[in-house]
Amino acid sequence: MGSREQVEKILESVDVKINGSRAWDLKVHNDKFFSRVLGGGSLALGESYMDEWWDCDRLDGFFSRFLDGKLDEKIRSNKILIFNILKAKLFNMQNKRRAYEVGKKHYDVGNKMYKRMLDKRMVYSCGYWKNAKTLDKAQKNKLELICKKVGLKKGMKVLDIGCGWGSFAKFASEKYGVKVVGVTISKEQAKLAKEICNGLNVDIRLQDYRSLNEKFDRIISIGMFEHVGVKNYKEYMRVVERCLNDDGLFLLHTIGGNKSVESTDPWISKYIFPNSMLPSIRQIAEASEGLFVMEDWHSFGNNYDKTLMRWHKNFNNFWDEIKKDYDLRFKRMWDYYLLACAGGFRCGKLRLWQIVFSKNGVKNGYKSIR
């Protein structure tokens, strides 16, 4: 059986056709695509799309079917997979020296682009779409939800690990009157976050979380744990434990996976989030055991599908304004990233969790907020 026939047979199992007429069918422009994908797995699938070897009217629809049918496991390259696993086992890919790589690769690609793609507060994490019709409202809902879950009160000192462009810090400082310390490993994020939070009781730092050693009433981390890595999960929790007051609360907002892994998708690692890794329930539980009491676990990954689709719409609506700073290959890479992730959340391959921890248990019990 030739490479084309092999790929066609694999895709037929999830109702995807080559050169079919439906929105999720693939349009192949280069016949070398089939052997390239069979030999190179998900990395080759993404790179061949960036190289314009194939197209799809609805990449999100294709990936929802692709991932739901576990086709990523059927076409993955064993050589690449084994290399990534060995690399993760032998080296700490998220140590202090490497921690800044994702900042340079992803978050420093241009504040101008992110300003147009994201909501008005520049929140680069899952929105909360309960009673929301716009991206701005969904992100405001999420920030408010976090503040309520940790019970913010005026005068508290709050740590934001992975503060992004300062959206939470600004919101919490303005609305709740708290002092916020935000840390990020992105120079561009830190620069803009300082401007956004100018005049507020907010301290933005270009700093690795492992260097923190001061006390806080509340600690939150939104969309940063995905960059920590399994070798550092326990250390991360120890840092949070030493920095959190005994009666404090810690909220962890993270994307998660259904299985415990030690490496990430090779295309995502190479082009989007270097050295990233999605934690599992077991990995988070093991890392936090002996340090924290789990008070609440909220799962709402379906909200990320909608968030990603809005980001993709904004990105394309404003492409003409920013395209002079990028090339077509970058655009195709970004389309692929946003829509593949949307498909992953849609089929349940990817999860989104908000977890609330205490040190010794909340007196009289923790009240869950949704």
Q: What does the alpha-carbon distance between residue 359 and residue 171 come to, in Å, rounded to a whole number?
A: 26
Q: Does residue 126 have an active-site annotation?
A: no
Task: Spot the catalytic one: 56, 197, 243, 341.
Answer: 341
Burial class (CB in 10 A: 0-12, 13-18, 19+), 312: buried
- On whether the CB atoms of residues 353 and 253 are closer than 8 A, the answer is yes
**CB distance 345 to 151 below 8 Å:** no
Strand partners, 298: 354
How far is residue 238's CA from residue 296's CA, in Å, rounded to a whole number? 19
CA distance 354 to 253: 4
- For the chain, helix, strand, coil in percent to 5 are 50, 15, 35
Amino acid at the residue 157:
K
| Identity of the residue numbered 128 | Y
Q: Are 237 and 287 in contact (CB under 8 A)?
A: yes
For residue 250, CA distances in Å to 152, 240, 253, 264, 341 come to: 11, 8, 10, 26, 27
d(Cα 90, Cα 93) in Å, to the nearest integer?
9
Q: Is 368 exposed, middle or buried (0-12, 13-18, 19+ CB in 10 A)?
A: exposed
Give the strand pairing for 216-222 and 244-257. Answer: parallel
Enzyme catalytic residues: 341
